[in-house]
Chain A
Amino acid sequence: MIQSMVHVLLALISAPLLQGVINRVKAFFGGRRGQPLLQPYFDMIRLLRKGAVYGNTTTWIFRISSLAAAAGPAAILALLPLGRVPAMLSFNGDMIVLVYMLAAVRFLMVLGAMDTGSSFEGMGASREVLLAALSEVAFMLCLAALAAAAGSFSLSGVYREMDTFGPVSVMSATVLLILLLSENCRIPVDDPRTHLELTMIHEVMVLDHCGIDLCLIQYGSALKLWVFSALFSGICFPFAGRSLWADLLAGLAGVFATAVVTGVIESTMARIRMKRLPEMLSLASVLALTAFLWEILV
C-alpha cells in the first residue's frame, strides 16, 4: 500500500521529467546537446507566473477544460498499477473506468476547443475525436486480451499475472505502444513541435489557452504520458522482484525506459499521413483481436 502511494506521489512529481528525457533523446539523435532535463518544469513555472487572456466567445466550458486536463489524469493515477506494484484503488472493472475517465477529459477538452469558435480548433477537435474513437476500440480489445490472458478483470490483477513474456504480451505491448503514441500526440501520429496549425491535432486544440491554463494542460499531458508508459512498460518489461520496493524501482526504470523508446521512435520516424492514421489504429485493433483469439484458441 505504501509503495502504491509512493508511486502516485512520484508520478505527480516526476511526470514532466519524461518529456525532458524524450527531448534529450531526440537531441542526441539530432547531434545536439539539447535542452536541460528539467526544461519542462522551467516552462511550467514560467507559465504559472502569467496572467490570463480569454477569448471573447468563450464560456465556463473553456475555463473548466484546462482544469479537467490536469485533474483527470491525476485521478487516473489512483487506478494505475506500476509493474507489479498494485494501484491505490483496484476493483473489478477499474480498467473500464480508466478508459472512460480519459474519455471524460477528452470530452471537456474538445468542447473547450469548440468554445473558442475558431475553425482551426474545430478542425483539431474533429481529428481528435475520430482518432480517439478508433483507439478506444483497440484499447478495449487489448484490455480484453490481457484480461483473458491473466484471468482477471482489474488492472492490478492483470499486471500481477503478466510476469512472463509470451505471444499475447508481445501483441498487447505493441498495441499499447501504438496507443501511447496516438493518445499522447507523438510522432508518427502527431508532432507536438509543429508550427503549422493545419497539420496539428492536439496542439491546435489548445491554441487559445495561455498562462496557468496552458500550464495545467501541459502538466496533464505529462501525467497522461506517465499513465500510458506505465501500462506499456508493465507488459513489455515484466519483472518480478523479491519485494514490492524492488518492483517499484523496476517499474520506475521501465517508465523511463519507455520514454527513451518514445524518443528513439520520434527521432527515427516521419509522421504518417493524416488519412493513413485510421489504418494504423485499425491495425492496432486487429492486433489486439489476434492476441485475444490466440489466448482463447491456442
Chain B
Amino acid sequence: MIQILLLASLGITALGAAACSMPFLKGRVAPLIGGYSAAAAGGAALLAAILVLVNGGQACFSSVWQLPFASFSLKLDQLSAFFVIPVSLVCGLAGIYGTGYMADEGNSTGGRLSWTWFLLLMGSMITVIAASNGILFLVAWETMTVSSFFLVTRYHEKGEVRRAGWIYLTASHIGTALILVLFAFPGAAATGSGTLVHPACSHGLFFLLALVGFGTKAGIVPLHVWLPQAHPAAPSHVSAVMSGVMIKTGVYGLLRMLTCLGSPEQWPIWWGWVMIGSGAVSALYGILNALGQRDIKRILAYSSVENMGIVFIGLGVWMTGASTGNALMSSLGLAGALLHVWNHSIFKSLLFLGAGSVAKASGTRDIEFTGGLLGRMGRTGLAFFTGSAAIIGLPPLNGFTGEFLIYWGAFSAVYGDNGFHASVSGLLAITALALAGGLAMICFTRLFGTVFLGSPRSENAGKACETVGSMYIPMMILAVLCLAGGLLAHLVVGFLPGVSIASGTPEVLGRIALVSLALPAGMLLAGALRKILLSGRSTTTSDTWGCGYILPGSRMQYTASSFSLPALLLFRGFVSLRLTTRSNGEYFPNGLSLKSGLRDSFMHRLYEPLFRSLHRLSGWFSGMQHGRNQLYVLYMAAVLLILLLWELGV
C-alpha cells in the first residue's frame, strides 16, 4: 500500500514532467497539468509518509536497474517519512499556487518547461530522501540541483538572474563534490541492502565532510552565499519550495550520515561544539543581514540562513547532550531541531508565497515602494501576518514549539551538575537563540509593517488588489497549519523519529498551548468590553497625528531602512554596512544625501577575491590552448611519447 502510494507519487511527477515538456500544449493547460500533478503527487507521498510515521516500521521497494553498483531501491523509514511530509506538503501547495502565479506565462516555452523542472525537482527531492542506495542518492541529488538551477534561471534574460544561477550552480557543485568524496571512501557506496554508507575509518573526517557538503545545501554560514542570490531570482512558488524544503535535504543528508557514524554517545564532544558554533554564527549573521535588505525575497532568504542556524543549534544541543551523557538535553535538542525543520518549512513557504503575491500585486520586490497592502489584500495580509508571527517564534504559533524545546534542552544543561562543556555550550545556545529571536522581531515587524501597514509609498502599491483564490488558499492552509502546529505540538512530538521523548514533555507543551491561548482569549474579552462601551458613542476616523503638520504624505512615513539602521549601526562590526553621506559642508547645508547599503561580507571579502585569483591562475594555462590543430596533435604525440617512455622505464 505504502509502496504503491510512494511509487504513484513519483510516477505522477514523472508523467507530469513529461507532459509539460510537450511543445503542443497551449495556454493555461501547462500550469494546470503541472500544478495539479504536483498536488496529486504531494497528496500521495504525504499519505504514504504519514502512514509510515504513525504505524511505525518502514516500507521498502527495490527493482533491478541496469547500472553498475546501483539498484532502484527506495526505503521509507521513520527519518525519511519525517522529511517526506514537508516536501510533499509544500510542493503540492506551491504547485497549486503556481497555477495562479504562472497563469500568464502558460504560452511561453520557458513557462511551460518551468513546470517540467518543478516536477522533476519535486520527484528528485522525494527520491533523495527515500533512496537507500548511494548511487541512486547521488543521481537524485544531482537531478535536484540541476532542475532547481533551471528554475532559478527561469527569467534568464536578466543579467542578475544569470549571475545568481551560476553562483548557485557553483556552490551546489562544490558541496556535491565533497559528498562524492564522502561516498567514494572504501565501502561507502553501499549496495541496496539498507543503510546508505558504512564508513570504517576516521569518523571525524567524515563528520567534517558531511558538515561542509550537506551544510552547503542547508545554507550554513559561510556556505550560505547562494541563498540570497538564488531565492530572489526564482519564481516565488519555486523559492517557497527551495527555501522551505530543499535546504532541508541538507539536514536530512547530515542526519542520515550521522546515523552511520556510530551511536551518539560515542561522538567526540567537539562535534557538538562545531554544530552549536556554526549554528550560532549562521543564526546571528543571517538575521543581521536580513535586517539590511530591501528586496522582500532576499530578506526571507537571509532569514532562512538564520532558521537553519537554529536547527543546527538544536542538533548541536543534541550531540553535546549525547556526548556528555545528558539524556534529557540530547532528546530535547533533537526533538526541537526536527520540529523546527517542519515548522520552518511551513511558515517560510507561506512567507515566500506571500512575497510572490506582494510582488505580483504591487509590481516590485523593493519593500520601500510598497505599503498599506493589508487594506487591499486582506487575505494575503492575514496569512503573511500569521507567518511573520510564527517565524519570530511567538506563542501560540508553531515557531515557538521547536525553539522552546531547544531552549529547554539548553537550559537542562545549565541547571543541575553537568560539567563545563554541557553548561557553557548550553549557555552559548541560549544566548544565540535569544539574540537571534530579538533581531528576528526587528526584521519581521519591519517587513510586515512596511509592506502591509501604513499608506502606499508608490502608485503601483496603491493600486494593488487581492490575488486569485488559487494563490491565497494555499497560503491560508499553511497559516492554519502554523496555528495547529503551535496548539497540537504535544500530539506531534511523540512521532519524531529517533527521539525517545522524555516523560512530561507532551504535558508541558499542552500547558504552553493552554497558557498561550489565554492571550487571544483575553483579547476577545477586552474587545467585547470595548464594543459594549463604545456602542452608542461616536467612533470617527481622522488623519494620523503629525505633530500639527497638516499635509501628511506617504513619503513622511518611517522607511524600512531607517527602521533597522540603529540595529545595523550597533552591529556594524559584523556586517559590511556602507554609509555614504554627501553635503556641501556649510552651516546651512542644502542637498544633503545619505546612502546606505549592505553587502554580504563573505561574498565580498572571501569568495569574490578567491574566485578572481582562481581565474587569474587558470589564465596562465590559456597560452597552451589557442585553437591550432597542429599544436594539439603535437601535445597528443608528446603525451603518448612520455607514456611510452614511462612504460618502458618501469
Q: Any chain B CB within 8 A of the CB of A244?
A: no
CB pair A103–B394 under 8 Å, yes or no, is: yes
Q: Any chain B CB within 8 A of the CB of A5?
A: no
Instruction: Classify chain A: how many residues form its interface, as a range.
Output: 35 or more
CB pair B395–A212 under 8 Å, yes or no, is: no
CB pair A68–B454 under 8 Å, yes or no, is: no
A-B contacts besides A104-B516, A137-B431, 20 pairs, CB < 8 Å: A54-B540, A54-B541, A61-B453, A66-B526, A71-B519, A96-B404, A97-B395, A100-B400, A101-B519, A114-B450, A116-B454, A117-B371, A119-B558, A122-B454, A126-B564, A144-B411, A147-B415, A212-B533, A216-B526, A296-B424
Contacts of B226 on A, CB cut-off 8 Å? none
CB pair B527–A64 under 8 Å, yes or no, is: yes
Contacts of A183 on B, CB cut-off 8 Å? none
Q: Any chain B CB within 8 A of the CB of A208?
A: yes
CB pair A59–B537 under 8 Å, yes or no, is: no
Q: Which of B433, B437, B515, B542 contacts A97 (CB 8 A)?
A: B515
Instruction: Classify chain B: how many residues form its interface, as a range.
Output: 35 or more
CB pair B508–A91 under 8 Å, yes or no, is: yes
Q: Any chain B CB within 8 A of the CB of A186?
A: no
CB pair A148–B414 under 8 Å, yes or no, is: yes
Contacts known (A68-B519, A122-B557, A148-B423); A93 close to B404, Cβ less than 8 A: yes
The residue of chain A having its C-beta at the shortest distance from the C-beta of B537 within the complex is: A51
CB pair A141–B519 under 8 Å, yes or no, is: no
15 interchain pairs (CB within 8 A)?
A56-B544, A67-B526, A92-B408, A93-B408, A100-B395, A101-B516, A104-B395, A121-B558, A126-B442, A130-B442, A136-B435, A144-B427, A147-B414, A150-B415, A153-B412
How far is it, in angstroms, between the C-alpha of A76 and the C-alpha of B231 when the chains are bound?
39
For the complex formed, measure the closest distance between the CB of B303 and the CB atoms of chain A, giving whole angstroms: 15
Contacts of B547 on A, CB cut-off 8 Å? 120, 197
Contacts known (A57-B454, A59-B375, A93-B404); A72 close to B544, Cβ less than 8 A: no
Interface string of A52-80 (1 = CB under 8 A from B): 11111111010110111011101100110
CB pair B408–A67 under 8 Å, yes or no, is: no
CB pair B566–A130 under 8 Å, yes or no, is: yes
CB pair A103–B441 under 8 Å, yes or no, is: yes
Contacts of A74 on B, CB cut-off 8 Å? 522
Please report which residues of chain B, range 204-246, place their CB below 8 angstroms from some CB of chain A when the two chains form the complex: none
Please report which residues of chain A, range 202-234, place their CB below 8 angstroms from some CB of chain B when the two chains form the complex: 207-208, 212-213, 216
Contacts of A264 on B, CB cut-off 8 Å? none
CB pair B508–A132 under 8 Å, yes or no, is: no
Q: Any chain B CB within 8 A of the CB of A155?
A: no
Q: Which of B389, B442, B527, B557 contacts A129 (CB 8 A)?
A: B442
How far is it, in angstroms, between the C-alpha of A79 and the C-alpha of B519 when the chains are bound?
13
Contacts of A67 on B, CB cut-off 8 Å? 522-523, 526-527, 530
Q: Any chain B CB within 8 A of the CB of A133?
A: yes
Q: Any chain B CB within 8 A of the CB of A36?
A: no
Q: Any chain A CB within 8 A of the CB of B511?
A: yes
Q: Which of B395, B423, B434, B454 contacts A115 (CB 8 A)?
A: B454
How far is it, in angstroms, between the C-alpha of A104 and the C-alpha of B512 when the chains are bound?
14
Contacts of A116 on B, CB cut-off 8 Å? 454, 544-545
Residue among B393, B420, B427, B454 having the largest count of chain A Cβ atoms under 10 Å: B454
For the complex formed, measure the closest distance between the CB of B14 and the CB atoms of chain A, giving whole angstroms: 44
Q: Any chain B CB within 8 A of the CB of A18?
A: no
How far is it, in angstroms, between the C-alpha of A67 and the C-alpha of B539 when the chains are bound?
17
B: which residues have CB within 8 A of A?
371-372, 374-375, 385, 389, 392-395, 400, 404, 407-408, 411-412, 414-416, 420, 423-424, 426-427, 430-431, 433-435, 437-439, 441-442, 445, 448-450, 453-455, 504, 507-508, 511-512, 514-516, 518-523, 525-527, 529-530, 533-534, 537-547, 552, 554, 556-558, 562-567, 570
Interface string of A27-66 (1 = CB under 8 A from B): 0000000000000000000001011111111110101101
Contacts known (A55-B541, A118-B545, A148-B414); A97 close to B454, Cβ less than 8 A: no
Q: Which of A59, A75, A117 contacts B522 (CB 8 A)?
A: A75
CB pair B438–A52 under 8 Å, yes or no, is: no
Q: Is the interface of B mostly helix, strand, loop or mixed?
A: helix
Q: Any chain B CB within 8 A of the CB of A240?
A: no
How far is it, in angstroms, between the C-alpha of A92 and the C-alpha of B633 when the chains are bound?
77
Contacts known (A117-B554, A140-B430, A141-B430); A75 close to B439, Cβ less than 8 A: no
Q: Which of B392, B433, B454, B540 contacts A117 (CB 8 A)?
A: B454
Contacts of B543 on A, CB cut-off 8 Å? 55-56
Q: Which of A105-113, A172-180, A250-258 contacts B (4 or more CB under 8 A)?
A: A105-113
Contacts known (A53-B542, A141-B430); A133 close to B442, Cβ less than 8 A: yes
Contacts known (A61-B453, A75-B515); A111 close to B404, Cβ less than 8 A: no
How far is it, in angstroms, between the C-alpha of A58 and the C-alpha of B542 when the chains are bound?
10
CB pair B534–A212 under 8 Å, yes or no, is: yes
The residue of chain A having its C-beta at the shortest distance from the C-beta of B454 within the complex is: A117
Contacts known (A55-B543, A78-B518, A96-B404); A127 close to B445, Cβ less than 8 A: no
Q: Any chain B CB within 8 A of the CB of A278?
A: yes
Contacts of B525 on A, CB cut-off 8 Å? 71
Contacts of B441 on A, CB cut-off 8 Å? 103, 106-107, 110, 129, 132-133
Residue among A48, A116, A152, A216 having the largest count of chain B Cβ atoms under 10 Å: A116
CB pair B453–A111 under 8 Å, yes or no, is: yes
Please report which residues of chain A, range 258-298, place their CB below 8 angstroms from some CB of chain B when the two chains form the complex: 278, 289, 292, 296
For the complex formed, measure the closest distance between the CB of A166 and the CB atoms of chain B, giving whole angstroms: 16
CB pair B445–A104 under 8 Å, yes or no, is: no
Q: Which of A51, A118, A140, A144 contacts B538 (CB 8 A)?
A: A51
The residue of chain A having its C-beta at the shortest distance from the C-beta of B434 within the complex is: A140
CB pair B522–A72 under 8 Å, yes or no, is: yes
CB pair A141–B434 under 8 Å, yes or no, is: yes
CB pair B404–A59 under 8 Å, yes or no, is: no
How far is it, in angstroms, between the C-alpha of A129 and the C-alpha of B562 when the chains are bound?
13
CB pair B437–A136 under 8 Å, yes or no, is: yes
Contacts of B407 on A, CB cut-off 8 Å? 93, 96
CB pair A97–B512 under 8 Å, yes or no, is: yes
CB pair B430–A144 under 8 Å, yes or no, is: yes
Contacts of A57 on B, CB cut-off 8 Å? 372, 375, 453-455, 544
Q: Any chain B CB within 8 A of the CB of A185?
A: no
Residue among B400, B415, B416, B563 having the largest count of chain A Cβ atoms under 10 Å: B415
The residue of chain A having its C-beta at the shortest distance from the C-beta of B527 within the complex is: A67
CB pair B414–A144 under 8 Å, yes or no, is: yes
CB pair A208–B392 under 8 Å, yes or no, is: no
CB pair A126–B372 under 8 Å, yes or no, is: no
The residue of chain B having its C-beta at the shortest distance from the C-beta of A79 within the complex is: B515
For the complex formed, measure the closest distance between the CB of B320 and the CB atoms of chain A, giving whole angstroms: 15
Q: Give the 3 A-B residue pairs with the shortest CB-CB distance, closest first.
A: A122-B558, A133-B438, A71-B522
Contacts of B415 on A, CB cut-off 8 Å? 147-148, 150-153
Q: Any chain B CB within 8 A of the CB of A162?
A: no
The residue of chain A having its C-beta at the shortest distance from the C-beta of B450 within the complex is: A114
The residue of chain A having its C-beta at the shortest distance from the C-beta of B538 within the complex is: A51
